[in-house]
Structure 1
Amino acid sequence: MTDTTLHGTEPPIVRDALERADPLPGTAGFAGEIDGRLVRDVLGRVPLFVELETSLSHAGPSWAFEPTVLENPILFPAGAVAAVDDPVPDAESRWALPDPAPVSDHEAAIDDLEGAIETAIASVRQDDRDIAVAFSGGVDSALVAELLDAPLYVVGFSDSHDVAAARTAADAMGRDLTVVDLEPADLERAVPSVARATGRTNAMDVQIALPLYLVGERVAADGFDALAVGQGADELFGGYEKVVRLDHRVEAETVRGAVREGIRSLPNQLPRDVLTIEATGLESVAPFLHDAVVEAALRLPDELLADADERKRGFRRVADRHLPAEVASRDKKAVQYGSLVARELDRLARQAGYKRRMDDHVGKYIVSLLEDEETRKSSD
């Protein structure tokens, strides 16, 4: 990223994508300013924020890559283009998520997906960075770890599912594993940093971000430059129960439609994860979110996505070619539950007097920790 006003790729690629209205021009995402315009890729893989209200008396910047720089930051929409001096995007000036016809030949679709993932991995390797992998023992992080051949780090409390699963998966893969054991004090210390970096204090976002932050701290301390994650696989390949059930949580009437809804949720989720990792001094690397992989995923038919018997079927068929069967077929808990961070944060909140009968008791506790830290800093 040589251009300080454009992150994620080089200006000629964005200019060409604008000219051709190409939403997937072969990058891992981009955002920033180019030729007097603000842009953010169609999946919002690079965070970009604009000032909610600007006036003649406003002396600060009108946009930034992180929310802390702005007074009233809001996320710039994914796929949008807008003038820098009027950063309210025109609804018509957006890249749209493609909707290609599904590939009917299942074996060809799996081959295409494997080739796309290998393209993404090759793109990661082009950069001269020392990379570690946030490893939970599930198929997503395991495939990243295997293809990148990078060191494995798992974070969690000693009795957590993620630590146990990561140990058995690493053994099956013949790999060493670094375990970052957590204590409740680690959460208390990290919560303000996560809330400040992400600009979010709601319980779910902070619970998801805390394991990333705490493993990132250790990876950075061990001298690495970047943290690789398996983010995006559940959304792209049908990893959620709701895409099979087609229940009240989705509007779609088909598995492919429900998966597309999940993909459209990424622009709001990804800034949380990217900003959390960057707050530890590392770059975030998410190979499954490369344009090539997204394009291949969008062409998968329902039968290679999910049903009542198996989720992420096509993705697992690719994993079967690279991982032990017991790892390729493995399901995992969401990181906030698998690491036991959600359980322990709830316990800390109740110990601090924020009982479950209170509305959003964990969120109130998070805000209190942030306010306490700000009070201590102002009094120093």
Structure 2
Amino acid sequence: MTLFQCTGWIELDGISLSTREVEKIVQTDPEQIRRFGGEFALSFDTCHARDHFGIIPSPGPKGALVCSGQVRFSIEPDPAPCTLDEAIVTAVRLRSGEGVTALSGGVDSSLVAALAGRECVAVGLAGSHDLAQARHAAELLNLTCTEVEITPEEIADALPAVVAAIPKKDPINTSIAVTQYFITRWAGAHGYRRIITGQGADELFGGYARYLSSPTLEEDLARDVLGLEAQAERDQAVAALHGTYLSMPYLDIRVVRAARAIPAQEKVHDGQRKIPLREVAECHIPPELAEYGKKAMQYGSGVWGVLKKLAHKNGYKTSVQDYIDHIGRVEHGH
């Protein structure tokens, strides 16, 4: 076999496989690749494969083994049915053999952090909401959490690399990606490749405030879940700048299946959001964290406010988008 490479991690029937075990399966029984779970990009000989949801970026279609340019078969892991609690616990367990957890103190990341039991990292400007809440959550969970204070100057310096890396260069995607940039930079600098995150929970369980007044909640949730692939592409592009990747337990096939089986009206009602996730969280973390309603990453970290100020300072007083476009043009020498 030539050029065997595996990025990410692979599981088979709930058991995490070592690189050597994966290589042996590929050599002796490649049909088993059909059942590979995890988050991976795999290549050998003239073949390459990606995980079912395409979490790890790589050429070729997600959820397929392609050899010599032809799709040989789909990759469709089929774990046994389980409850949402079992699904989340299993998803985090499979990912927590290595890495650092990105913690912001909301229910999504606090539940993952508690189950993973690993060192945590939080990012934000000095005095930001996310740093304070992550500190509080880490104390309640008895976890070590490194607080990375970022400055407006560092954000300005990072913007060209972030804008160049991400596919969709708009204000929301840019501000989220900037926050991810500093999380992944810290992780890479401290020897971590895997960063365990809470991404996907808002879309799967109904976490956004706009869901409270939506007359088409089921359709909105379905549409937003489809958008998770683009989010993952954005975040992994930034992570790759630092030799890292994001691992997303809520996008484990067990969790996705369990979440999709719950009717939308059970996820959001009576002014409450993410109800099924909070019910699971109450079994594993203190109630105040399970019930906490956190600001979105770009606001809680303080990055959005800095981005607006930088746009204004650079002469773009009414449009952050124009400022981002300007950065893109400068990067391309225009």
TM-score by length of 2: 0.80
1:242 Cα deviation from its structure 2 partner = 3.5
Partner of 1:57: none
Partner of 1:121: 92
Please tell me whether residue 340 in structure 1 is matched to residue 311 in structure 2: no
- Map 1:95-174 onto structure 2 (within 5 A): 112-125=83-96, 127=97, 129=98, 131-174=99-142
Q: Distance in 1 between matches of 2:41 and 2:233?
A: 12
Partner of 1:282: 244
In the alignment of these two chains, the number of paired residues is 314
- Map 1:1-380 onto structure 2 (within 5 A): 3-4=4-5, 9=10, 10=22, 15=31, 25=35, 27-31=37-41, 40-48=50-58, 64=59, 78=62, 85=69, 112-125=83-96, 127=97, 129=98, 131-246=99-214, 253=216, 255-356=217-318, 358=319, 360-368=321-329, 370-371=331-332
Q: Distance in 2 between matches of 1:5 and 1:162?
A: 34
Q: What do the CA deviations read for 1:312-357 (whole angstroms, capped 9, x no partner)?
A: 111111110111110010111111111111110121121112221x
Q: Distance in 2 between matches of 1:335 and 1:227?
A: 16
* Aligned alpha-carbon RMSD (Å): 3.3
Q: What do the CA deviations read for 1:84-115 (whole angstroms, capped 9, x no partner)?
A: 648xx9xxx9889x9xxxxxxxxxx9x71111
Q: Distance in 1 between matches of 2:146 and 2:321?
A: 34
**Aligned partner of 2:299: which letter?**
Y
Could you tell which deviates more after superposition, 34-43 or 211-220? 34-43
- 1:16 to 1:298, Cα distance in 2 relative to 1, 3 A: farther
- 1:264 to 1:17, Cα distance in 2 relative to 1, 3 A: farther
Q: What do the CA deviations read for 1:99-132 (whole angstroms, capped 9, x no partner)?
A: xxxxxxxxxx9x711111121122124x5x3x21
Could you tell which deviates more after superposition, 325-334 or 76-85? 76-85
**Aligned partner of 2:286: which letter?**
P
- 1:242 to 1:28, Cα distance in 2 relative to 1, 3 A: farther
Partner of 1:69: none
Residues 43 and 266, structure 1, Cα contact 8 Å, conserved in 2? no
Q: What do the CA deviations read for 1:242-278 (whole angstroms, capped 9, x no partner)?
A: 434325xxxxx4x444322221111111111122122
**Aligned partner of 2:135: which letter?**
R
Q: Which has the higher strand share?
A: 2
- 1:82 to 1:227, Cα distance in 2 relative to 1, 3 A: closer
- 1:179 to 1:30, Cα distance in 2 relative to 1, 3 A: closer
TM-score by length of 1: 0.71
1:279 Cα deviation from its structure 2 partner = 1.6
> Does the residue aligned with 1:28 lie in a helix, a strand or coil?
strand
Q: Distance in 1 between matches of 2:147 and 2:320?
A: 35
- 1:5 to 1:324, Cα distance in 2 relative to 1, 3 A: closer
Structure 2 residues not aligned, in runs of 5+: 11-21
Q: Distance in 1 between matches of 2:106 and 2:93?
A: 22
Could you tell which deviates more after superposition, 328-337 or 358-367? 358-367
**Aligned partner of 1:278: which letter?**
A
Q: Distance in 1 between matches of 2:224 and 2:65?
A: 23
Q: What do the CA deviations read for 1:180-217 (whole angstroms, capped 9, x no partner)?
A: 11111111221222233334533322211111111222
Residues 42 and 78, structure 1, Cα contact 8 Å, conserved in 2? yes
> Does the residue aligned with 2:5 lie in a helix, a strand or coil?
coil
**Aligned partner of 1:319: which letter?**
A
Q: Distance in 2 between matches of 1:170 and 1:220?
A: 21
- 1:233 to 1:279, Cα distance in 2 relative to 1, 3 A: same
**Aligned partner of 1:289: which letter?**
L
1:280 Cα deviation from its structure 2 partner = 1.5
1:359 Cα deviation from its structure 2 partner = 7.8
1:178 Cα deviation from its structure 2 partner = 1.7
